[in-house]
A = this chain, B = another copy of it.
Amino acid sequence: MAQKPGLPKGTRDFSPEEVAKRNYIIQQISHHFSNFGFQPIETPSFENNSTLLGKYGEEGDRLIFKILNSGDFLSKVKDETYQSKNSNTIAHKITEKSLRYDLTVPFARYVVQHQNEIDFPFKRYQIQNVYRADRPQKGRFREFTQCDADVIGSKSLWQEVEFIQLYDAVFSSLNLKGVEININNRKVLSGLAEVIGETDKLIDFTVALDKLDKIGRAGVEKEMLEKGISQEAIVKLAPVFQFSGDFEHQLQELSQLLSDSAIGLQGIEELQFISKCIQKMPLATAKLKLNITLARGLNYYTGCIFEVSAPSEVKMGSIGGGGRYDDLTGIFGLKDMSGVGVSFGLDRIYLVLEELDLFPKTITEGTQILFINFGEKEALYALKAVSQLRKKGFSVDLYPDAAKMKKQMNFANKRNIPYVILAGEAEIQKEVFTLKNMKSREQFELNLAQISQRLQDKFA
């Protein structure tokens, strides 16, 4: 009996319409990446375990898809080890490589491996799929596309300014207005931990704060208490939840609170520089917003951090994020390489554009003209014209079989093909074609040059 086909959990097929829409977003993003001076690289879908494991924390390691060694993979497992029947131990003996979990660690590996060929500062972009053995849910998949741009080898804050402009340029070109670019600085968070006397608990402090959106202020305070942050410290933190006013005003309030923290003040200075630049070069459609409680989960960030949220009428969390890291390549032996990067969340941007009906109608138009097939002689006459029109750049097709007229016309309708061309015995004799507009139902007897002109006017 034939198998009933299906897909692995958390994976997807993309139909022609979906591919067209995804490619539209990818083209906009990659156009602007390149326009901003980033160069594309690609890395393999899988990396050595030694490259990936231990880079994403314990949770991350569990979510990495490991690839079974080929051949008699068990022959290399010692009997004692085998007898333990311990999945964790044995996994390390029977796999050597894994599917990539993100594009950042492979990028760090790339930079270190190719450091002698690269002219720093290196601005690279990378649009590839990543894989996570996560529990699938709405908007979360086991294979999905990341779109990353990073600059490595420069400490300059102009990069942060440019990334904000890049976000604005991409979302403006996607016609997605009202996007909010939230910004904060890890140094501000360090400063806060310092002034409340909890420098030792910086990570717990950051992790708790990061959940503000989900669990609210009371929830954050409760988690901080549980992690051993003192009641007194939490009281000192209160103003942070009450900051209001514009970017500049909040920075002023913050600098009073952080007046005793050198690192905190440095973070404020960085934010001030960025804010000043953006004021002088206003964004087209996005808004830059200071968000002191923005923390971001990843531990490698050390400077500015970003998170982009969709326009408020769409409920969709973050559609992009990023930040500065001072030592990403250190794990692979290349020290003192400061970098900063951002990521665009393709799947979520797709859902937002879909919800707001922002995909241009033309991108899903496929074949423009279908020639009806009346039989061998007619098909040959048609196919010569098909070739000519294709060479002029039109997307043209000949119905493959001399099927019933109605079937062929139905096909054109279902596939949304705007023009049909009919050429039977009568047309062949006169060396013409009957061009039919499927929408208006009008039809015209024209020669090939006339048809070409008419289509040019329509599609150019």
Contacts and interface: CB of A to CB of B under 8 A. Distances in A.
A74 interface: yes
Given A20-B40, A383-B161, A414 B119 contact: yes
A331 B40 CA distance: 40
A165 to B, nearest CB: 6
A7 B90 CA distance: 22
A155 B401 contact: yes
Contacts of A71: 62, 87
A2 B332 contact: yes
Contacts of A131: 45
Interface in A112-130: 112-114, 117, 119, 121, 123-124, 129
Contacts of A158: 373, 379, 383, 398, 400
Interface string A6-46: 11100111111001100100000000001111011111111
A12 to B, nearest CB: 7
What DSSP secondary structure best describes chain A's contact surface?
A: mixed
B401 A156 contact: yes
A169 B390 contact: yes
B8 A46 contact: yes
Interface residues of A, number: 107
Given A12-B44, A281-B384, 4 more contacts: A3-B333, A5-B112, A66-B68, A155-B401
Interface of A: 2-8, 11-16, 19-20, 23, 34-37, 39-48, 50-51, 62-63, 65-68, 70-75, 82, 85-87, 90-91, 94-97, 99, 109-110, 112-114, 117, 119, 121, 123-124, 129, 131, 133, 143, 151, 154-156, 158-159, 161-162, 165, 169, 277, 280-281, 330-333, 366-367, 373, 379-380, 383-384, 387, 390-391, 393-398, 400-401, 411, 414-415
